[in-house]
């Protein structure tokens, strides 16, 4: 894994922009001003933070179900020798929002977010066909909002 070196401005950006990014005409410019940066500098820093994997993504979080879509949690039992190969296949699907390795028989867990409810079954079928492994679907029974923020 690549060494991630964050300066105080990087930390301030990460800590400040979680949950509060403006919706104005030029949101990056507006946010950059609070850090004493130009819009271009802020965008470049965010791109670098994503490239070095300090951030996995930067963007809005939508409630897919309220927009007519669907979300589910999935798991797979992936042979250790195929883990990297299967990870690449799973992550190649634009519907995969997160993918995590776990120390369990079901050692790969990921979230699917699809444009419509039928997309869940279709994407699971595609992943199973590509990997020749079973995907276990764990649909949400109840939703909790925890307001997770991680300090850098």
- What digits encode the pLDDT tens for the residues 17-62? 887 788 889 999 999 998 899 999 999 999 999 888 888 778 777 7
HSE-up (13 A, CA, CB side) for residue 65: 7
**Which one is predicted more confidently, 78 or 117?**
78
Provide φ and ψ at 141, rounded to 5°.
Answer: -100, -30
- Sequence length of the chain is 152
In this model, does residue 6 exceed pLDDT 50?
Answer: yes
**Model confidence at 1: pLDDT above 50:** no
| 64-139 maps to CATH 3.30.70.3460 | yes
Is the pLDDT at 77 greater than 80, yes or no?
yes
Going by their DSSP bridges, the two strands 108-114 and 135-139 should be labelled as: unpaired
The pLDDT value recorded for residue 32 is 92
Tell me which CATH code domain 8-51 carries: 1.10.10
129: left (phi over 0), alpha (psi -120 to 50) or beta: alpha
Query: Residue ranges of the domains in the chain?
Result: 8-51, 64-139
Per-residue pLDDT, 52:
86
DSSP conformation class of 64: G
Dump pLDDT digits (tens) for 108-149. Answer: 999 999 989 899 999 999 999 999 999 999 998 887 766 666
Say what the pLDDT of residue 3 is.
Answer: 59
């Amino acid at each position: 894994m690549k060494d991630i070196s964050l300066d105080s401005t990087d930390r301030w950006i990460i800590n400040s922009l979680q949950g509060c990014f403006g919706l104005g005409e030029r949101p990056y410019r507006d946010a950059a001003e609070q850090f004493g940066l130009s819009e271009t500098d802020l965008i470049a820093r965010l791109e670098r933070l994503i490239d070095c994997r300090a951030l996995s993504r930067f963007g809005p979080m939508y409630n897919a179900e309220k927009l007519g879509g669907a979300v589910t949690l999935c798991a797979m039992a992936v042979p250790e020798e195929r883990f990297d190969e299967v990870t690449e296949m799973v992550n190649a699907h634009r519907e995969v929002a997160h993918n995590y390795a776990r120390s369990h028989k079901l050692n790969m867990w990921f979230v699917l977010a699809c444009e419509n409810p039928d997309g869940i079954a279709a994407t699971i079928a595609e992943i199973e066909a590509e990997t020749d492994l079973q995907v276990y679907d764990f649909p949400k029974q109840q939703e909790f909002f925890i307001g997770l923020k991680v300090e850098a």
